[in-house]
């Protein structure tokens, strides 16, 4: 039975989010449990990816539940990748919105490679490579960043490009209210 673990947030002050995670040396029972728990935690949150430091484990492990993509026959499956490494990237980058389970209520616009090739080891110990693009590539880059203590907020280049979800909604409501007042004269 998998256990939903507590997600470490930046507010907690736990330094694990800022440390470089260790390479996994041995795929043992405790690592299998960690992966099962990470998948359960990601789904419960819910999120589309999770890195081991986010549950307090300073190890190079990520899980990604890729959203459906018509062009990717493997989409919709759960990837658990041990010691993931980006070995190739697209020449171009693209801006897109991101949030993070460790930074609740914040979103930002982040530049990422459009596609990446990730090399890693699966939970049976077999080395594999996967090419991901667009949203899935973005998730991989975000999660692998976590293994080096990098958060998406570090990659936001302009303060205007990060916002608190509630505040953006409030701003929208505020402008609607202003519009109403204008009508009322
Ligand atoms: Zn994150």
CA of 170 to the centre of ligand 1 (A): 24
**Domain 10-184 listed as CATH 3.30.565.10:** no
**Where exactly are the structural domains of the chain?**
10-184
CA of 178 to the centre of ligand 1 (A): 35
- Non-local (6+) Cβ contacts of 138 within 8 A are 96, 98, 110, 112
| Active-site position among 143, 160, 167, 176 | 143
Check if 143 is active-site.
Answer: yes
CA of 56 to the centre of ligand 1 (A): 13
CA distance 156 to 173: 25
CA of 92 to the centre of ligand 1 (A): 22
At residue 177, the pLDDT reads 47
| Residue in the structure block whose two tokens are 């470089």 | 20
Instruction: pLDDT tens for the chain, 185 residues: list them.
Output: 899 999 999 999 999 999 999 999 999 999 999 999 999 999 999 999 999 999 999 999 999 997 666 566 556 789 999 999 999 999 999 999 999 999 999 999 999 999 999 999 999 999 999 999 999 999 999 999 999 999 999 999 888 889 988 766 555 555 554 444 334 55
Phi/psi at 100 (nearest 5 deg)?
-150, 135
At residue 176, the pLDDT reads 53
């Amino acid at each position: 039975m998998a256990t939903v673990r507590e997600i470490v947030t930046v507010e907690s002050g736990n330094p694990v989010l800022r440390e470089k995670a260790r390479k996994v040396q041995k795929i043992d029972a405790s690592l299998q449990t960690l992966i099962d728990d990470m998948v359960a935690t990601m789904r419960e949150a819910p999120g589309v990816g999770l890195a081991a430091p986010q549950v307090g484990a300073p190890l190079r492990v990520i899980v990604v539940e890729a959203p459906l993509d018509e062009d990717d026959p493997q989409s919709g499956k759960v990837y658990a990748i041990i010691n993931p490494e980006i070995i190739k990237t697209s020449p171009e980058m693209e801006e897109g919105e991101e949030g993070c389970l460790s930074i609740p209520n914040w979103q930002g616009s982040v530049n990422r490679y459009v596609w990446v090739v990730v090399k890693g080891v699966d939970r049976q110990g077999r080395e594999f490579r996967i090419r991901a693009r667009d949203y899935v590539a973005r998730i991989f880059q975000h999660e692998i960043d976590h293994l080096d203590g990098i958060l998406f907020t570090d990659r936001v280049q302009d303060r205007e490009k990060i916002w608190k979800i509630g505040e953006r909604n409030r701003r929208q409501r505020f402008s609607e209210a202003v519009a109403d007042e204008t009508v009322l004269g």
